[in-house]
Amino acid sequence: MRILALFAITAVLAACGADGPPEAPTMDTTVGIGTNGAFGATHIRQGPVTITLGTGF
């Protein structure tokens, strides 16, 4: 029973990312001018997740 509980605790900690340092989100902004006018986008990334606001490229 103790082995099963230890395995479950280890699996939960590994799944939530508590086994490593936290990742800080990154953000970048792109602004440009084309033949159709000005455009821009802001990208926010954390790990495999990316959120884009504005007109995409």
The kind and range of the H/E element at 5 are helix 2-16
Query: Is residue 36 domain-resident?
Result: yes
* pLDDT at 45 (0 to 100): 87
Domain count across the chain = 1
Query: Is residue 9 domain-resident?
Result: no
Average pLDDT over residues 15-26: 68
Residue range(s) defining the domain that contains residue 27: 23-57
* pLDDT at 17 (0 to 100): 57
Query: Is residue 8 domain-resident?
Result: no
CA 52 vs CA 12, 15, 32, 41: distances in Å: 30, 26, 16, 7
Confidence of residue 15 (pLDDT cuts 50, 70, 90): low
Query: Is residue 31 domain-resident?
Result: yes
Is pLDDT of 54 > 70? yes
User: Whole-structure pTM over 0.75, yes or no?
Assistant: no
Query: Who wins on pLDDT, 20 or 53?
Result: 53
Q: Is 20 helix (H, G, I), strand (E, B) or coil?
A: coil
Query: Is residue 46 domain-resident?
Result: yes
